[in-house]
């Protein structure tokens, strides 16, 4: 648009302007003065305006950085694959598959602390090779907390290793990390040979093995022991609800006795009373054997009740042949005419409500209120701090301040906002897994990953079809699938790809590659590869891994071509080095996830992550040149 001004500023004007914009954008990302999504969209808008005013003319005179070219990153197969993997991962989480697997893993370690920790980290590494790291870490945070509690270890010694193990797993396959997919997409964009599913698995496993040894042996010694004090101040897990379990004919509790007042089938719950017909049986329950129809009054935390529901959805409201028995067991709200039980169907959510001071519920029991008829929500437990209750939940007369643990569908729970009798504690809402859809979710996930790994269909086709199948099969609903798509990922990847394109088209990538090669003139290709890895690894802790991967992939290719070696070793270096964001909680999202549970400060990541970066650099520098023949 301004050809005379462009000519006056020189042929490299667009390149230097691109460098300036990249530096400015990275500074904004690092300072976090604005939300990441706003910065990313702002970067894209700046590119659109600048290259409209100062186009980069190709051989045919056409602008090589027109809006279509800059915006095509938002339709990039790598981005679509990442989003599809997020949806598929949510399907695995939402159906309880990962939670069940995690509990099984927890039992494999036995009574040895080091073995339990090693098993958990090893499984996290393996699962992260095929699933997005974020849901994997979210699932395993409570598992690692349980390991710490079982063996008297500080949680702050284990949470950073958990995050690092997920990163190690992401290095081993093409779909293990969005970083890997972005590098692969950049190679396709440049006309280079892309990676297949397991192309860099061997060096990835070597690096992961070295990293796993470090987090098991050295990292706990470098990390602080500050979790016990924080836990004592912040722990809210001791609040207990009174709940009611009716033993059905099919229940695993039938025939079980109580040892020292504890039931093996309810290891995390305290049984306060057993109602058998008109007889009330109190602790210590010596000689008691559970029969069908027994009503167990238990005290348990919300976490324990949630876990019980996750393993046995009908535990707290079992189906009995007698409709009245069902009503008695769970509050008298079952519609015997229609048999409608909306709390069993669709998306199941737990939430807490508090009985309001002037509530009409005060002084009444659940059967008298008809709570389920009116709200379509089932009461699973009642929490009252004033005294220990030894009565059936359905016999308790509600008081102001009582907290009810409810289960229902999202729309029914939201309707409680207008209910004057209870105060909805919206922060407490949490979805329950849909266990009956676990098999179909597993089949879809394994089929999609298997087709992609075998090379029968492109990865983007397999994952996008798998995500659609998750929704179509009912493993996820549309609302859950939309929530799984992180807007930060969409905007950040789109902006990073746009910057990568401009860096390539303006000649910036070739300029940086030539400058680096000139600076290392006289040294061998293996040394160039080693130093390049270290440079990218250090920068990945300052800027995001995704941005680092996109910006340095064209530079890696140009360096390899300049020194006369195949680009594969250098592009693999970008994948591994960009994932080495161990010394900062900002570089990788799993680091941010464990910051709260581990009670970490920024310096903790620096202390534990910096040695790991140099270990990864050393292992890569020794193994990669030999493996790739550099």
Output the 3-class SS for 209-239: HHHHHHHHHCHHHHCCCCHHHHHHHHCCCCC
Other CB atoms within 10 A of residue 20 CB:
10
Given this model, what pLDDT does residue 621 score?
93
Residue closest to 541 by CA, chosen among 603, 604, 584: 584
- pLDDT < 50 stretches in the chain: 227-237, 318-340
- The answer to whether 569 and 189 are in contact (CB under 8 A) is no
CA angle at 246 for the pair 243 and 247, rounded to the nearest 5°: 130
Q: Residues 6 or more apart from 14 whose CB is under 8 A from it?
A: 6, 51, 54, 56, 506
- What does the DSSP 8-state code read for residue 581? -
The token duo for 165 is 């193990």
User: What count of Cα atoms within 13 Å lies in the side-chain half-sphere of residue 147?
Assistant: 30
Whole-Å CA distances, 576 to 373, 489, 609: 57, 20, 15
Class of domain 338-431: alpha beta
Q: Which residues contact 504 (CB under 8 A, 6 or more apart)?
A: 189, 190, 554
Distance (Å, whole) CA 498 – CA 44: 7
| pLDDT score, position 341 | 56
pLDDT at 620: 95
CA distance 111 to 119: 12
Given this model, what pLDDT does residue 460 score?
Answer: 82
| pLDDT at site 410 | 82
Instruction: Report the C-alpha gap between 452 and 175 in whole angstroms.
Output: 9
Q: Is 594:160 a contact under the CB 8 Å cutoff? A: yes
Residue 258 CA to residue 245 CA, distance in Å, equals 15
Residue whose C-alpha is closest to residue 575's, from 121, 241, 180, 98: 180
pLDDT score of 322? 35
- Asked if 103 contacts 116 with a C-beta cutoff of 8 angstroms, the reply is no
> CA 314, CA 251: separation in Å to the nearest integer?
10
pLDDT of residue 334: 43
């Amino acid at each position: 648009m301004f050809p005379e001004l462009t000519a006056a500023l020189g042929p490299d004007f667009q390149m230097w302007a691109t460098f300036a914009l990249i530096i400015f954008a990275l500074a904004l990302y690092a300072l976090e003065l604005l939300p990441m999504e706003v910065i990313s969209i702002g970067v894209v808008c700046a590119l659109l305006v600048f290259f409209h005013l100062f186009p980069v003319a190709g051989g045919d005179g056409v602008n090589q950085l027109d809006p279509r070219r800059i915006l095509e990153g938002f339709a990039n197969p790598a981005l679509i694959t990442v989003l599809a993997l997020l949806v598929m991962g949510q399907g695995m989480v939402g159906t309880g598959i990962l939670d069940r697997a995690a509990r099984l893993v927890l039992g494999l370690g036995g009574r040895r602390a080091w073995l339990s920790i090693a098993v958990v980290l090893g499984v996290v590494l393996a699962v992260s090779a095929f699933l997005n790291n974020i849901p994997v870490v979210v699932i395993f945070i409570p598992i690692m907390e349980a390991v710490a509690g079982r063996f008297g270890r500080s949680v702050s010694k284990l949470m950073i290793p958990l995050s690092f193990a997920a990163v190690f797993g992401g290095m081993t396959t093409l779909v293990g990390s969005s970083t890997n997919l972005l590098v692969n997409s950049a190679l396709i964009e440049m006309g280079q040979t892309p990676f297949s599913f397991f192309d860099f698995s061997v060096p990835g496993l070597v690096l992961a093995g070295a990293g796993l040894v470090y987090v098991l042996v050295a990292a706990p010694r470098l990390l602080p022991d500050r979790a016990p004090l924080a836990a004592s101040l912040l722990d809210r897990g001791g609040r207990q609800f009174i709940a009611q379990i009716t033993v059905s004919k099919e229940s695993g509790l039938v025939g079980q006795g109580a040892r020292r007042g504890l039931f093996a089938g309810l290891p995390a719950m305290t049984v306060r009373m057993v109602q058998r017909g008109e007889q009330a049986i109190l602790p210590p329950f010596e000689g008691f054997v559970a029969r069908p129809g027994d009503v167990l009054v238990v005290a348990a935390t919300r976490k324990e009740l949630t876990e019980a529901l996750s393993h046995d959805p009908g535990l707290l409201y079992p189906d009995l042949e007698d409709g009245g028995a069902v009503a008695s067991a769970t509050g008298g709200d079952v519609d015997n005419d229609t048999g409608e039980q909306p709390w069993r169907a669709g998306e199941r959510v737990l939430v807490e409500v508090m009985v309001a001071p002037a509530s009409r519920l005060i002084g009444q029991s659940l059967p008298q209120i008809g709570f389920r008829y009116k709200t379509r929500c089932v009461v699973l437990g009642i929490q009252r701090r004033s005294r220990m209750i030894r009565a059936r939940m359905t016999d308790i007369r509600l008081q102001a301040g009582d907290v009810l643990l409810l289960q229902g569908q999202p729309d029914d729970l939201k309707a409680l906002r207008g209910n004057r009798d209870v105060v909805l504690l919206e922060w407490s809402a949490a979805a329950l897994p849909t266990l009956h859809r676990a098999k179909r979710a597993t089949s879809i996930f394994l089929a999609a990953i298997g087709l992609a790994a075998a090379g029968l269909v492109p990865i983007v086709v397999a994952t996008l079809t798998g995500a659609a199948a998750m929704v179509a099969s009912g493993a996820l609903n549309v609302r859950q699938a939309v929530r799984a798509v992180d807007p930060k990922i969409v905007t950040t990847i789109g902006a990073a790809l746009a910057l990568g394109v401009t860096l390539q088209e303006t000649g910036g990538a070739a300029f940086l590659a030539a400058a680096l090669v000139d600076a290392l003139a006289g040294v061998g290709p293996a040394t160039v590869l080693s130093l390049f890895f270290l440079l990218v690894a250090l920068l990945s802790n300052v800027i995001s891994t995704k941005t680092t991967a996109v910006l340095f992939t064209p530079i890696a290719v140009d360096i390899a071509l300049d020194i006369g070696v195949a680009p594969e070793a250098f592009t693999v270096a970008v994948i591994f080095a960009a994932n080495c964001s161990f010394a900062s909680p900002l570089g990788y999202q799993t680091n941010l996830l464990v910051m709260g549970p581990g009670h970490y400060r920024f310096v903790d990541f620096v202390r534990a992550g910096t040695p790991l970066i140099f270990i990864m650099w050393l292992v890569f520098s020794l193994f990669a040149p030999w493996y790739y023949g550099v």
